[in-house]
Each structure stands twice: as structure tokens, then as C-alpha cells.
Amino acid sequence: MDAIGPCLAEAARRLLRTEDTTLIVPQHLMDEALELSLAISDGIPKLIREPTVALGTDDSIQVEGISQLGGEEPSLSVCWVPNHADNLDLIWSRWVQQIRDLMVAGYPGCVGCGGPGSEGVWDETASRARTRVT
């Protein structure tokens, strides 16, 4: 697993266990984001409100206040997946696959199916140290 793998997994877990979120994406990902929101609604029936989708900028994907893929480094309360390769579409694809894999495994209603690191407390500071390019 590469350095951003654990970040992607944590960002996926946060999305799947949080109700009534807003997924903010670039224009070219709007249709895919709407499909993902519907898949989450269908895949996790206990969620009362699936993520809503909103238009954002071209340099990042955000789950408002919870996680961010790409863009400028946010506060430590946000799980950040840096985009060092400047390929946000690749990060998006990997993240969506992680979300779908977790849903198939039964997350968040299962025990131990969240993957490595899912049972402990997430350390955002350590994550950023691992993914920082020097």
C-alpha cells in the first residue's frame, strides 16, 4: 500500500459513517458524485440522509468538514489526501473504489471489516508526516 492508501481508507470510512454530509466536487465529477451518493443511499439503508452533492473547485474534492482530497492543506480536524501527482481523477477513482469495497464488506455495520487502521483512533498528524513530499 502506498503512503496515501491509509488516508483514502480513512476518508472513505468517514464518509460512510457520517450522515447528512455534503460532497463537493469539480464540475466534471458531478455525475459520478451523484451516482456515488445514490449507491451509498442504497448500500447503507440505515443512513437517513445520504451525501448531497455540490459544485466545488477543480483542485479538490471535499466532504465538508470531514475529509479533503487534493487542494491546499486543511486543518488537522480534516482527513487530508494530498494530490502530489496532480491527478485528482486518479485519487477520486481510488477513493470511490475504497468506498464501494467497504460497503460490500458491510461497513459501517460490521466488526473488523473497515480494513487496517479502522479500529484505532486516526492520527492525522502522523498521516501527513507519512505523505509529505520533501
Render pLDDT for 98-122 as a digit per residue (tens, 0 to 9).
999 999 988 887 777 776 666 778 9
Q: Is 79 helix (H, G, I), strand (E, B) or coil?
A: strand
Task: Please state, as a whole number, how many other Cβ atoms lie within 10 Å of the Cβ of residue 106.
Answer: 14
- Report H helices in 18-87: 30-43
User: How large is the greatest C-alpha to C-alpha distance in the chain, in angstroms?
Assistant: 43
pLDDT of residue 117: 65
- Could you read off the pLDDT tens digit of each residue along the chain, which spans 134 residues? 588 999 999 999 999 989 889 999 999 999 999 999 999 998 887 777 889 999 999 999 999 999 999 999 999 999 999 997 789 999 999 999 999 999 998 888 777 777 666 677 899 999 999 888 64
- Burial (CB < 10 A; 0-12, 13-18, 19+), residue 98, is buried
Query: How much is the pTM?
Result: 0.90
